[in-house]
Amino acid sequence: MAHAMENFCTISEEYDIDGEVGFALPNPLENLPDVYNDWMSIAKHLPDLIESGKLRERVEKLDMLSIDHLRDHKSQRLAHLVLGCITMAYVWDRGCGDVRKVLPKNIAVPYCQLSEKLQLPPILVYADCVLANWKKKDPNKNMDVLFSFRHTDCSKGFFLVSLLVEIEAASAIKEIPTIFKAMRMQELDTLRKALLKIASCLEKALQVFHQIHEHVDPQVFFNVLRIYLAGWKGNPQLSEGLTYDGFWKDAKQFSGGSAGQSSIFQCFDVLLGIPQRAGGGSAAQFLQDMRMYMPPAHRNFLCSLESNPSVREFVLLKGDAGLQEAYDACVKALVNLRNYHLQIVTKYVLIPASQKSKNNTSKEPSEQENKGTGGTDLMNFLKTVRTTTQKSLLKEG
C-alpha cells in the first residue's frame, strides 16, 4: 500500500501545502467582513497613525468585537495578521522606548480567542507577516504587501523577498513523494534525480535571497522595521512579557517573528536527516519552540516527515557514489543558504548595531540589539545551525 507521503495531492490536502507557493497562504484575502472595518482601517493606516501619535488612542477606542463572523480559514488568517500588526504598533508605537505593557481588552480578547482557534500565539508571527501578507497587484503577478508599519520601513522588500525565497524553495516539496516512493521501490536513479532537483530548487532560492540588497536598506531595517518584529520573550523592555487584558491574568512571553518560524528549511533538515534538534542545546530548543509559531498543519507535516524512513540512512546503506553526491548537493545547498543568512545578519543587524553604539558613544552594542527578533543570540544560533548542516555532509569538501 502506497504511503501518504508518496502522493503530493494527499500532502497538499492534509497539511495545507500549496503546489505553487508551498507553505505560504495561496491568494490571501485582502478584506475582512464589514463588521471588522474598524480593525481594517487601523491596519491599513498604521504608518499615518503611528506618525501622528494617534495610533494608541484609536486602538483604545475600538469596540470589543466577536470573532464569530470569521467563518473560514483565510478570513481567520487575515484577522490574525491584522490584529498582530495592530498589537505590534500599539506596544512599540514610534519605537522610542515608550513601550506599553498591557494590551487593551477590546483587542486582546478577540486576538487571543482567534489565536486559540488557529493554534497560533497572539503575536505577529512569520506565518502572518510573510506567508499571509501579500497580494498580486496586477495580471503580471507583480506583488505587494497588505500592511506595513511605517512609510519608509522597507517592509515591502523584506517581507516579499522572504516570501519569494519560500516560493522558490517550495518547488522542492513536490519531490518528497518521489523520494519516498523511490526508496520503497529501491529505484536509486529516480532517488538521485529527485535529490538533485531539490538541490537545484534550494540553489535558486539562494539567488532570490540576493534580491534583499536591492529592496532593503540596512539602516532602515535595523532602526525601523526590526522594532515592530520584536517580541516579548527575552526582551528587557518587556521582561515579564505582555499582559493581554481580559484574557489572561498574568503577562505572557512570546517570541517575535523570525525565519526560525519558517517551515521550509526545517522541512529539508528533517527530510535529509540533519539533526538540528538533537543534543539539547539552545539552538535545538529554539527550533523546537518555533514549531509552535507555525500553523498546526505545517507542524504536523514536520512530525509526519520525522516518522518516515530516513533518507540519509538509506543513502548510506546503499553506498552508491552517485546517490551520495546527490544527497551532498542538497546539504551543500542548505549550507550555502545558511552562510548567506549569516552574511545578511552581519550587514543588516551587527554592523548597524555597531554604528548605533558608536553614535551613542557607548563601547559595544547592547545584548538586545545583537539578538534576533525571535529572542535568540542571533549569530551563535545561526552558526550552530550552519555547523550542524556542514557536519551532515557524507564527504568533506
Nearest CA-CA partner of 332 in 391, 284, 277:
391
Query: Would you mind telling me the total number of residues written for the chain in this entry?
Result: 397
**341 appears as a binding residue in the annotation:** yes
φ and ψ of 235, to 5 deg = -115, 115
Nearest CA-CA partner of 162 in 208, 231, 109:
208
- According to DSSP, residue 251 is labeled -
Q: Taking every pair of C-alpha atoms in the chain, what is the biggest distance, in angstroms?
A: 68
Give the H/E segment covering residue 243. strand 243-244
Distance CA 226, CA 75 (A): 26
Check: CB of residue 205 under 8 Å from CB of residue 335.
Answer: no
Distance CA 169, CA 111 (A): 31
What are the grid coordinates assigned to 95, written together? 519605537
Half-sphere exposure for 260 (CA within 13 Å, toward CB): 31
Helix (H, G, I), strand (E, B) or coil at 244: strand
What are the grid coordinates assigned to 57, written together? 488612542
Residue set of the binding site for heme b:
341
Residue set of the binding site:
341
